[in-house]
Structure 1
């Protein structure tokens, strides 16, 4: 009998690196030995964790600023310890979070045209971790919700909009939490002992609603070697059916060649293709996921000469739909960041509807308060038919709730340093007012004090009015009124 070949539009997907002049050269990538990606990408910026003396830093480059990067190019440098992980906000291409060995999480607002000078003042400083923060990741559908975690400890959920902690997520075996699922109500955790058993453990945070479908991949290869030096990659898959009761046993196991380091998985829910990059490896393996057994189907392997020290992943709305590009990676070398394009070979110049279904856009589906109250919502979808053009981003606004006493104004932060508050945002500086009393001018000390008190009252009233107008503007932008 003739062997039947499985039909799939992704059987011939191939990877191709860009030309040298389209890479980002002369970047000194961080040498910290961590399992994070070290790179975060969105349609506007490329961020890379770099070596820095006297603290931690990462570089933010406009996507189109390729070629050789000057040594004096400004960085984001507010941490006192090495930066371990970075992640762009999915709902604002100019906001990025960073976690560091100094046990803090910082949220930064990047100027519209990129950095022209070093950025040392974060919008928010979140403190509460007792150990280094190795993972930061944003909620995929709720605005301003951030998860931070580190090895051997719980994860903390934050509402960045008001700089408050929402609660803790305590995985059954807290060691290496993964990204939240598509609706952000379940996170996966993987530990060394469970990785050796070839399984993935995922726990739902108490009180948070559960989604109907998701896919998760272990970030660690199995420690058990099979004949021929192969190891198992644990993959847990859930279809549209209710959640599997036994999360100790994965629904599928895929054999992989021995890898030098941690595995960095990237899953595309639009195409059901999963890409697995080995840190310290020189290949990208990709598989197609189906709802029928055996669930995992190997497609191909992209191999290059240099091993990767990290990997960034471009959101679907940042791809070139005119070239049938279905994925783009940003591979970190020792001193270079190299984009790699994954393409479906087709000759037609028409828009390929089957390759580009409506995908997640930059708008949040719900507010942080709605998610905490129990609401779940999938991403707000957009069409890529018109070669999606990003809309103008709005600045991250942090409420000054409970931050200012009625009897005194907010302090003005000094240059190059931030006032550290436990789980609070940095208050904006109050405009300074100069008052002088000229001898012989008829104004005594009592009159000056009265004028000062009147001006303080005026500043307070204007501040309250600004807060009300900002809240009204926010409601208008969100469509509440």
Structure 2
């Protein structure tokens, strides 16, 4: 074993295969113009070729099904007065093609339905040339590249030696936007959604433009070599790939963040070799494969793009060099043969060879993993919609399985909508309880912290004996009142009885505890434990707090018991059968005080001014009366629950538990009120201490 690590990839064994001789296009006369373009373009129906002709510029269009040797005289698309430098097919109309010429004009052509490369002749049997539908004029010098928009219909980009890139409305012939550069643009590429354009020019700068704002979004230094560079947008991402040369004439690949070009390339340049030919990049977004075609050599390298890195897959080698190369749209591949790219290359300027790249698979079924949804021939926007900045995520996609089944393609538009999603249409009753719970937490957070209480206690210990006697008297009075309230709660065992009854009913019926998500016992325990009063009269407060914690601990233990027993229940709280009971619970809230009202009381207590100790002591009687009333009400509920038979159904047990939770919440709120009243007394003591300190000073 060599021990060499082999990276796992489903495309590791992709291979290229040239079509047989009878499937090639021969007797082609490719232009001998030295301008740097791809020279040929292809769509699912035709190949366009920059033709070597006299009497001005011309290009030829070859239907894909008319293979073999071309006649000596062929119909040409004539109309330009100088060489045709570049062509591009409309992605949404296979019979529309645009051309850029050395005469500074852009031609828009329509291929007739009865067009034939071999048999399109006039009445005398001679090949019949075709004329353009219109010319787009505006460039001051020759038009080197033309490129149709990927999502909007009738939108075309063109670059020229006048150092501009112009965006056109093909239908009206109107110039929409102009992107001014300091030098000639050598390559350009649209983003996936068509909102941005990446350009690279002779000044060795890579730029990304917001087309409709006519401004540069990002700009950075590209390759340092003197030869032309190419750029391609890497599909549905914010990454770019460029090909160029180093100062030592090494062929390089660069990966860039499209919106952070000033930071430089990602991870450094990839050095390919030292050949002199320009690398033409083609990116397959469906499989994330970048193909690099050498101009002047016969090699085609391909890399898998993943996590901002390029991983070399393999290389297609040939002894026949290519000057021109074109990749067909995704909808033109043979799905049944597991073909992932259909391409065409020129050979010795007189032949065009189809090359297919395959993923080797044994299964004859549809390979869904290598054929995700791909761009269809349907436009996502009109030119006017795109100009008005109507949002769209990208091209309209279609399901590739339709090519395998021979059925009509299922389109999947990617247009952004403002309609609510299914999650947004959920019942408002579920999230309605969350803001109430959050607001109660905010109110409870306003209670004094332990550190603040400790500082006050330390300050109180350093005061005169007269203050100590006053505090002691106040502490004794509060101790008496607090102990009376706690004794009343301890003597009344109705709460324990009610909890015991509900536990027995739940064990029989297996009901789910409705307090499981809404009671918040754990949070309330933490809040009560933090309210410790370290002052001269703190012994009385500690006794009260200990009794409260004991009561809470007993209640919590008994409430958690039915939780564990009924955990497997699948009862939903919002079943229609419980609606009448919900109305009854609301009525009880109005009579006894709703939880929202009880939660507002602590907030009101905190906003009161510091009062005298005797007034606070007298105000302590109200919580004691409330606790006694709550105990009586709880006792009444317990008697009603004890009279219920054990054969009560699931509905009755849930209702009883709901009532229990409401009562317990009210008792806890009362206890919290008494604790906050003690806070007020503490604040009053602080005020008195400050006054005495000032008087002594």
Structure 1 and Structure 2 fold alike (TM over 0.5): yes
In the TM superposition, what are the counterparts of 1:270-309 in structure 2 within 5 Å? 270-291=286-307, 295-309=309-323
Q: Confirm or deny that 1:128 pairs with 2:138.
A: yes
Matched-pair contact (CA < 8 Å) for 2:85–2:144: yes
Relative distance call for 1:282 and 1:381 in structure 2 (3 A) is same
1:348 aligns with 2:372: no
In the superposition, relative to structure 1, how do residues 224 and 245 fare at CA in structure 2: closer, same or farther (>3 Å)? closer
Cα separation, partners in 2 of 1:277 and 1:21, compared to 1, 3 Å: same
Give me the whole-angstrom Cα distance separating, in 1, the residues matched to 2:408 and 2:43.
Answer: 13
Pick the aligned partner of 1:338 from 343, 353, 357: 353
Q: Which residues in structure 2 correspond to 1:195-206 (within 5 Å)?
A: 200-205=206-211
Aligned equivalent of 2:382: 367
> Are 1:273 and 1:287, in contact at CA under 8 Å, matched by a contact in 2?
yes
Q: Which shows bigger deviation, 25-34 or 382-391?
A: 382-391
SS of equivalent residue, structure 1 residue 137: strand
Instruction: Write the deviation string for residues 142-189 of structure 1: whole angstroms up to 9, x where unpaired.
Output: 000000112451111000111111010234654223121212222222
Residue aligning to 2:171: 161
Partner of 2:51: 50
The answer to whether the Cα contact below 8 Å between 1:266 and 1:274 also exists between their aligned partners in 2 is: yes
Between the aligned partners of 2:303 and 2:257, the Cα distance in structure 1 is: 13
Name the residue aligned to 1:443: none
User: More strand per residue: 1 or 2?
Assistant: 1
User: Which residue in 1 is equivalent to 2:156?
Assistant: 146
In structure 2, the residue matched to 1:32 is 33
Q: Give, in whole Å, the separation in 2 of the partners of 1:91 and 1:390.
A: 19
Decide whether aligned partners of structure 1 residues 63 and 367 sit closer, same or farther in structure 2, where only a CA change above 3 A counts. Answer: same
Give deviations 1:213-243, integer Å, cap 9, x for gaps.
3443325x21323xxx7432223256xxxx3
Distance in 2 between residues matched to 1:13 and 1:287, nearest whole Å:
10
2:94 is paired with a residue whose SS is coil
Matched with 1:381 is 397
Residues 257-276 of structure 1: matches in 2 within 5 Å?
257-276=273-292
Which deviates more, 86-95 or 163-172? 163-172
CA separation in 2, counterparts of 1:113 and 1:384? Answer: 29
**What is the aligned-residue RMSD (CA, Å)?**
2.4
Per the alignment, residue 12 of structure 2 pairs with 11
After superposition, what is the alpha-carbon deviation per residue over 1:435-480, rounded to whole angstroms, capped at 9, x for unaligned? xxxxxxxxxxxxxxxxxxxxxxxxxxxxxxxxxxxxxxxxxxxxxx
* Corresponding residue of 1:213: 237
Cα contact 2:13–2:360 (8 A) shared by 1 = yes
Task: Look up the match of 2:588.
Answer: none
* Alpha-carbon shift at residue 328 of structure 1 (Å): 1.5
Max radius of gyration: which structure?
2
Matches within 5 A, 1:378-417: 378-387=394-403
Q: Does residue 1:244 correspond to 2:268, yes or no? A: no
Is the contact made by 2:154 and 2:383 (CA closer than 8 Å) also made in structure 1? yes
Contact 2:153 2:381 in 1 (8 A): yes
CA contact 2:379–2:395 (8 Å) conserved in 1: yes
Within 5 Å, give how 1:100-115 maps onto structure 2: 100-115=101-116
- Please state whether the residue corresponding to 1:332 is helix, strand or coil: strand
Contact 1:78 1:119 in 2 (8 A): no
SS state at 1:114 partner: coil
Q: Secondary structure at the match of 1:317?
A: helix
Distance 1:4 1:208 in 2: 48
Structure 2 residue 247 is the aligned partner of structure 1 residue 224? yes
Is 1:235–1:250's contact at 8 Å kept on the other side of the alignment? yes
Mapped to 1, the partners of 2:91 and 2:238 lie a distance apart of 18
* Separation of aligned partners in 2, 1:212 and 1:352: 22
Conservation of the 8 A alpha-carbon contact between 1:224 and 1:231? no
Q: Any unmatched runs of 5+ in structure 1?
A: 393-481
Answering whether residue 199 of structure 2 is matched by residue 189 of structure 1, we say: yes
Q: Which whole-Å CA distance do the structure 2 matches of 1:302 and 1:48 have between them?
A: 23
CA contact (8 A) 1:185 1:208 kept: no
SS of the residue 2:385 aligns to: helix
- RCO higher in structure (CA 8 A, sep ≥6): 1
Q: 8 Å contact 2:183–2:203 — kept in the other structure?
A: no
CA shift at 1:247, angstroms? 5.8
1:200/1:217 contact within 8 Å kept: no
Structure 2 Cα separation of the partners of residues 176 and 103 of structure 1: 16
* Aligned-residue offset at 1:193: 4.7
- How far the C-alpha of 1:257 sits from its partner, in A, is 1.1
1:319 matched to 2:333? The reply is: yes
Cα shift at 1:248: 4.5
Number of equivalent positions: 378
Please, which moves more after superposition, 110-119 or 259-268?
110-119
Match of 1:176 in 2: 186
Task: Report the alpha carbon displacement of residue 206 of structure 1 after superposing the two structures with TM.
Answer: 5.1
Counterpart in the other structure of 1:92? 93
Distance 1:215 1:113, change over 3 A: farther
- TM normalised by structure 1 equals 0.74
Q: 1:146 to 1:390 in 2, by over 3 A?
A: farther
Q: Give the distance between the partners of 1:55 and 1:173, measured in 2 at CA.
A: 27
Residue aligned with 1:34, SS: coil
Partner Cα distance (1:213, 1:346) in 2: 28
Change beyond 3 A, Cα 1:4–1:326: same
Shift of 1:291: 1.9
Distance of aligned partners of 1:95 and 1:131 in 2 relative to their CA distance in 1, 3 Å threshold:
same
Match of 2:370, SS state, is coil
Cα distance in 2 for residues equivalent to 1:289 and 1:43: 26
* Alignment gaps of 5+ in structure 2: 122-127, 218-234, 410-697
Worse-matched range after superposition: 111-120 or 316-325 = 111-120
Partners of 2:265 and 2:197 in 1: how far apart?
Answer: 16
Q: Which structure has more helix as a fraction of its residues?
A: 2
- SS of match in other structure, 1:218: strand
